[in-house]
Amino acid sequence: MIITNLAFADISFLDYYFSDEPLMEEVRMYVDDKFNCEDIALNFVASMLTCEGPLLVRGRDAYVTYDPIYGISRKPGHMKMRSKCLNDFTEMFGFMPLSDEQA
């Protein structure tokens, strides 16, 4: 999966995500309600539309990330919630569109 704070995406993925398609309306309502998992939802959309995993793009300099002190990922139960998002999105989409890729 790709994290949306450092990602490139084709505009068609966002067009579909914000469309009036009933599935996307349900997904957006879920994300808004949980205040979480928009990155997982966008990964589902990208994989569903392309039937591929994310593309690895490397910059000139190494990307450095630090374990955050504050934020949503530090809240108790965060990983459990993200696992629930995966299961709930799989149910909403009717299949698991994410490809098993490693980079």
Question: Would you please indicate which residues are annotated as catalytic (active-site) residues?
Answer: 39
Cα 78 from chain centre: 15
**How many angstroms separate the Cα of 84 from the Cα of each of 45, 53, 65, 70?**
17, 21, 25, 22
